[in-house]
Structure 1
């Protein structure tokens, strides 16, 4: 079993950097985005460099990721972990060192008391925002300015990975994700279709598949009529829907 989140991601990329690791669908917009392990790792490294080199954050600090399941959310969550920082998930607001949210949530930002605020519209093709809320920076525009490789200090199993809603170390997240993968019937090599509405927590849609060596087809606004064809087209072996 892996003992840190970056270790699990690195293993997935080394196993096969070119095959799809995370494929995103939004049936409300028609968006489909496919990320190989190497492409996802690139976004993760850029995000980690943004946090460390751009914002000057370091171990022990906390980043609120208040975004729904999405491939950009995966890149940010994994980037926070790569940088040795901890994640605060949606829930009770608390002071944090940086936050990521959608423009629609901008009114909630003050409650989190973060100086550094990033917004993303989670738009197709990682398009930038047409209008950036006051006091925010556009994540997909700014992150492109940072390096493709992260050279920060290695994360340890005891490093804090989650700050809230409960506090968990990297090792605890990996153990929880391994147990959850077993409950969901996910094993190594599986291609897992996940309904984002039914499984909104990152332990389920991100970390559980990652820790056992599975790839993900993550679907927002999943249309039941498209399920069978998508399962066939994406060579899905496990379906997790409501």
Structure 2
């Protein structure tokens, strides 16, 4: 069914009205074992996150942001990461604290309070740095860290599986700043669903490209769907190899291929 939420947002919902990121993560627990985010990397890496596991990652990361960086409404979190499942986790966690995700860096520096990046050497100035290792099995960041930087690979796992205290989200505060402007928390999911037009409940294949990848994933999940996310390189390979593309989409039971 469809629900008109607290901010006038009309989104698909089962027993949970989906108007905020907190609602979205709660929706994941309706079917906790159902795959919700499946990642394919260029090197053949495949990572599948069920609803419960995705929520667990978001919860741990949210706790880190609150306890380590005092994230709250008004805090700017710059995501200097490629299209990746970890990028989605960090975006959701930042939104869960009421913070603003910055996807563009128009000043050419680090206009943020917290910088989340797989290239920490680029951010030795401005903002507190979190270094993210992209491989799923990484236990620490493989490289030099700026002084004071947090190694996400080891730090995230030390935080609680359930979200502790978080500040109240201000619906009017900015949730997203990107190349095309800004979006408030009140409008975040509604705008994402309008732009992506996902099929309710569908398993959707997306290319992990563009600054809007986090909102495209959020849009699919907000209408009770699931996502297969592939790199740009793999998507290009699949387009050139129809048999391989058909095999992957079939094995993943994709309803809505957008490759």
Offset of residue 21 of structure 1: 0.5
Offset of residue 201 of structure 1: 1.7
Given candidates 195, 210, 217, the residue that maps to 2:221 is: 210
Greater helix content: 1
Residues 124 and 146, structure 2, Cα contact 8 Å, conserved in 1: no
Report what 1:44 is aligned to.
58
The TM-score with structure 2 as length reference comes to 0.82
Runs of 4+ in 1 over 3 A off after TM superposition: none
Question: Which sits farther off after the overlay, 171-180 or 127-136?
Answer: 127-136
Given candidates 133, 141, 150, the residue that maps to 2:154 is: 141
How far apart, in 1, do the equivalents of 2:21 and 2:140 lie? Answer: 28
Residues 104 and 177, structure 2, Cα contact 8 Å, conserved in 1: no
How far apart, in 2, do the equivalents of 1:187 and 1:155 lie? Answer: 28
Given candidates 46, 58, 61, the residue that maps to 2:75 is: 61
Q: Taking structure 1 as reference, are residues 43 and 187 closer, same or farther at Cα in structure 2, changes over 3 Å only?
A: same
SS at structure 1 position matched to 2:186? helix
1:218-237 to 2 correspondences below 5 Å: 218-220=229-231, 221-222=233-234, 223-224=237-238, 225=241, 226-237=244-255
Residues 62 and 163, structure 1, Cα contact 8 Å, conserved in 2: no
Q: Confirm or deny that 1:239 pairs with 2:240.
A: no
Residues 141 and 152, structure 2, Cα contact 8 Å, conserved in 1: no
Q: Taking structure 1 as reference, are residues 204 and 85 closer, same or farther at Cα in structure 2, changes over 3 Å only?
A: closer
Report what 1:180 is aligned to.
195
Q: Taking structure 1 as reference, are residues 200 and 97 closer, same or farther at Cα in structure 2, changes over 3 Å only?
A: closer
Structure 1: 5+ residue stretches without partners: none
Q: Confirm or deny that 1:128 pairs with 2:137.
A: no
How far apart, in 1, do the equivalents of 2:69 and 2:227 lie? Answer: 31
Report what 2:19 is aligned to.
3
Q: Confirm or deny that 1:201 pairs with 2:201.
A: no
SS at structure 2 position matched to 1:121? coil
Offset of residue 38 of structure 1: 0.7
SS at structure 1 position matched to 2:73? coil
Q: Which has the higher contact order (CA 8 A, sep 6+)?
A: 1
Q: Taking structure 1 as reference, are residues 36 and 219 closer, same or farther at Cα in structure 2, changes over 3 Å only?
A: same
Structure 2: 5+ residue stretches without partners: 1-10, 12-17
The TM-score with structure 1 as length reference comes to 0.87
Given candidates 49, 62, 80, the residue that maps to 2:94 is: 80
Question: Which sits farther off after the overlay, 210-219 or 154-163?
Answer: 154-163
Question: Which sits farther off after the overlay, 132-141 or 166-175?
Answer: 132-141
Q: Number of paired residues?
A: 231
